[in-house]
Structure 1
Amino acid sequence: MSVPGWPVAFRGSLAVAAGLVTWDRLRGPRYRRLFPDVYVPAVPQAPDLALRSRAAYRLVEGCGVLSGWSAAEILGASCGPRDAPAEVTVPGRDRRTHPGLRVRRDALHPGEIIGVDDLRTTTPLRTAFDLGRSGDLVEAVVAVDALAHRFVFNPDLLLNFAVRYPRARGVRRLCEVLAHADRRAMSPMETRLRLLLVLAGLPRPVAQHPVQDPLTRTAVWLDLAYPDRRIGIEYEGGHHTRPETVLRDAGRYTGLVDRGWRIYRYTKYEILGERDLILAQISRALDA
């Protein structure tokens, strides 16, 4: 007897029936119960969104699918906030609720569901439609950007869902989200940095702007740029701390400065905690 999700996230009753584990062991220190009858191996760190999403799917398997932040995570377009709950969509009659789980009660067209490994999720477009009309404006744009970039679609395609579901909750705000969306964004933090500038009233920067070097016949792609002012803005994620990347970036930025560019580099700490500093620095650069 095979047990779906074993041993990552599985139904305890099925695992016991298959002889893979006993109830005493499930209740012991080796396993952790995330949802009713759904268990995962116990580890020192808290379960991440991917694991919590797999557990949530086992809870609704057969009558629901992963959606929202969970669907984006499983689809390879991770973009949820650090505290994002696992999300599922179930038929309107289902009323189950559990801590750490967001339940969307909605009907889905068969064409809006796909299989990923042994899971079922909403399609990239339907996932973007759901996330683009709920929650905070910035996080909604982050989600649309991430999915549109990962699956290479024009965000305006989401308007087709607005026509199909004109009474869906939050559908009226979708146009505002799409006005800010840009599928060229390479990461959620890059989108947050762009929106920080735009929502403060600064001009919209160009995403992924190429700066060409005719001598070496190469190009450097800036995360954000004001090309007419030769201002480049970069988000420096964790991969920029690797020794080989640090060495590459040194020459990269020296070359840009040599060609007259002013480069501003920010990490998650400034984007999340020192927004006024960023706005002041970029405003001064634009005014110079």
Structure 2
Amino acid sequence: MARDEPGPGRVRGWPVAFRGSEAVAAGLVRWSTLRGPRFRRVHPDVYAMVCDEPDVLLAERAASVLVGEQGVLCGFSAATVLGADCAPRGAPQEVTACGARIRSRPGLVVRREALLPDEITVVHGMRVATAMRTGYDVVRRASCPVEAVVALDAVANAGTFAPERILEVAARHPGARGSSALDDAVRRADARSGSPMETRMRLLVIGAGLPVPELQYPVQDPVAGTVVWLDLAYPELRIGIEYEGPDHFRPDRVRRDIRRITNLVDQGWRIYRFVGQDVLGTPERTVAMIRRGIDQRRSTSDAPWR
């Protein structure tokens, strides 16, 4: 039986995120123990076990337990459960109340919007909005146009759907708040983007007037019989642009990247590697470097630019 499914002597979500009253009634724990150091209170009557390796979805699980069958995780909370890492830092959990008397509280936003039955699914034992409905919601709730595209890219990638399909959801909810942001986000979105920072880097490059790069461009190594996928690329000029997240600094990843980049350079590629500070902190310098690289390659290449 799955962890999230209740059964004889069990409580839904135990011991990750669960209702304290149900756990006590089932004889799984005492109130005195719940108030001790082994557990922490997340919401009224919702508790979680304190452990060294907490569940990465703990906040969403706790919100789901709180609303039960009377609510659905939506917006950035649904995106997180669906595997899209696009929620703003410190964002509260979001639920859509299905006729229940649930109120917003610190750390929890309760929305009262129409949610059709086929816009609800179950993931990891939690009731959540479907991927397309979530894409529609996060675009409308994003803090700015760039972040709307970032969120849509992430949800479309995780949900494996074409970004323009959120317009089908919009057609079912005419006049919904924030819908004016949909067309622009759909026009600029691309579900192939591998991460939010890759999306921000792509939008930075395009916004600066540089040509639209290829995404996830494959470069074959005929000798090694392998393929390297570049985040962004100008294939005709053999220019690649890579975003290096924290995982690229692990020792095993560093060694792999050294071989990877060396092989690309050996094949005539010019590779630009950037970190978050380059994209968010010094965007003008980042764009200038790529622009110089394009100009230099254009001046020495006979390949047509498209």
Q: TM-score normalised to the size of structure 1?
A: 0.90
Is residue 2:57 matched to residue 1:34? no
Cα RMSD, aligned residues only: 2.2
Compared CA separation, residues 258 and 44, structure 1 to 2 (3 A): closer
Match of 2:19 in 1: 11
Which runs of no fewer than 5 residues in structure 2 stay unpaired?
A: 1-8, 297-306
Distance 1:21 1:217 in 2: 57
Which amino acid in the other structure matches residue 155 of structure 1? P
Which runs of no fewer than 5 residues in structure 1 stay unpaired?
A: none
Q: For residues 54-95 of structure 1, what are the alpha-carbon distances to aligned partners after superposition, in whole Å with 9 as ceiling and x for unaligned?
A: 101111112101111111211222322222221111136745
Report if the CA contact (8 A) 1:90-1:107 is conserved: no
Distance 2:50 2:252 in 1: 35
Match of 2:302 in 1: none
Distance 1:244 1:28 in 2: 41
Distance 2:208 2:46 in 1: 45
Is residue 2:141 matched to residue 1:115? no
Which amino acid in the other structure matches residue 285 of structure 1? G
Report if the CA contact (8 A) 2:16-2:55 is conserved: no
Match of 2:63 in 1: 56
Report if the CA contact (8 A) 1:50-1:70 is conserved: no
Percent identity over paired residues: 55
Matches within 5 A, 1:67-78: 67-78=74-85
Distance 2:267 2:10 in 1: 62
Which amino acid in the other structure matches residue 153 of structure 1? F
SS class of match (1:179): helix
Compared CA separation, residues 15 and 102, structure 1 to 2 (3 A): same
Is residue 2:31 matched to residue 1:23? yes
Q: TM-score normalised to the size of structure 2?
A: 0.85
Distance 2:142 2:52 in 1: 31
Distance 1:84 1:272 in 2: 20
Report if the CA contact (8 A) 1:141-1:180 is conserved: yes
Distance 1:8 1:245 in 2: 32
Match of 1:266 in 2: 274
Match of 2:203 in 1: 195
Report if the CA contact (8 A) 1:65-1:122 is conserved: yes
Distance 2:168 2:98 in 1: 22
**1:174 Cα deviation after fit:** 0.3
Report if the CA contact (8 A) 1:9-1:51 is conserved: yes
Distance 1:131 1:49 in 2: 20
Structure 1, 274-283 or 172-181: larger mean CA deviation: 274-283
Structure 1, 253-262 or 33-42: larger mean CA deviation: 253-262
Match of 1:176 in 2: 184
Structure 1, 215-224 or 151-160: larger mean CA deviation: 215-224
Match of 1:238 in 2: 246
Compared CA separation, residues 248 and 29, structure 1 to 2 (3 A): closer
Match of 2:113 in 1: 106
Compared CA separation, residues 92 and 168, structure 1 to 2 (3 A): farther
Which amino acid in the other structure matches residue 205 of structure 1? P
**1:218 Cα deviation after fit:** 4.0
